[in-house]
Amino acid sequence: MDLSNSGSSNEGRTAASAGAPEPSRAAGPVIYRQSLWTRLTHWLWAISLFFLLLSGLQIFNAHPVLYFGDQSGFGFDNAVLAIGAENTETGAVGHTTVFGHRFDTSGLLGLSWEDGQAVARGFPSWATIPSYHDLATGRVVHFFFAWMLSATLLLWLLGSLVNGHLGRDLAPRLSDLRNLPRDVADHVRLRFHHTRQYNTLQKFAYGGVLFALFPLMIATGLAMSPTMNAALPWLPEVFGGRQTARTIHFLAMLLLVGFFVIHMLMILAAGPINELRSIVTGWYRTDPPTHAGMQPEVRSRS
């Protein structure tokens, strides 16, 4: 998930100028595409999101119901999602209810199996940290990595403002909007172009994660905190109440999971070795020049 380019003066170097092996004539040139700062923030985000997801599901399992509004309980009919289990004539059944529509989700949600035994729990043990029920540990893990993600995002933002990365690499331009239909068509046909620049879909996707989903996750997380409610009593009201903030937090998590799945599929389709090498070592093989000494104008893979 190469969410940034640092803007370092080293970026854009060819392999030959940096002492790296000279690429063959049949392949495109190898450039230094991802700086150390880019790779470091990428992996810090990846690690943070992994632990945030699994510890967050541990916290969710303590009360696997989502509501709209500021309050919840037996006296309110404002649940939008509920995961549970019940005994029936044919045995225990797990179920998930979404806006009043009930689905049998036995084996995954509501009821799962541990050591051959049926266990009633929201998400199964393999999807939570810790795998057993431990809300206190889950909260400790979740808060630690929440602060890690927030600090990394702030440092990345400050660094990107200083080196001009935001305006140069992530801000969509008019040419990007004109190229959007072609970019979508190329992705649908799995035609990927490997250059240094981000393409239009990348800019929208990465911008959406960095400037919408990440801040939304942080803000709704703070809105659920009793400490922050005391310090900033207006914050939960911005989202329509603490329960609504919790629901939005959950939905933002689902969008981030969706982004991750699509991101992984694009990496596999565009060439996983080249993509992984880029975010691990910084070196990236681009498309062969279309003319002598010139790179193709089409932009990089998603």
State whether 267 and 204 are in the same domain.
Answer: yes
pLDDT in tens, 180-202: 999 899 888 888 888 888 888 98
In a domain, 226, yes or no: yes
Q: Rounded to two decimals, what is the model's pTM? A: 0.82
Domain membership flag for residue 293: no
pLDDT for 71 equals 67
**Total domains in the fold of the chain:** 2
The DSSP H or E segment spanning 56 is helix 36-61
Q: Which positions ≥6 away from 129 have C-beta within 8 Å?
A: 51, 54, 55, 58, 137, 138, 141
> Are 144 and 220 in a shared domain?
yes
Which element (helix H / strand E) includes 67? strand 65-67
Query: Do the domain assignments include residue 290?
Result: no
Domain end marker among 122, 143, 165: 122
Answer whether residue 171 is part of any domain. yes
pLDDT digits (tens, 9 = 90+) for 191-242: 888 888 888 898 999 999 999 999 999 999 999 998 898 999 999 999 999 9
Q: How far apart are CA 264 and CA 257, in angstroms?
A: 11
Residue 83: give the domain boundaries.
Answer: 65-122
Residue 140 lies in a domain: yes
Separation CA 175–CA 122 (nearest Å): 47
Q: Do residues 196 and 89 both lie within one domain?
A: no
The answer to whether residues 249 and 207 belong to one domain is yes
pLDDT, tens digit (0-9, with 9 covering 90-100), for 36-89: 888 899 999 999 999 999 999 999 999 999 999 876 665 667 899 999 999 988
| CA distance to 50, 142, 302, per residue, from 128 (Å) | 10, 11, 30
Q: Examine residue 105 and state whether it is found in any structural domain, yes or no.
A: yes
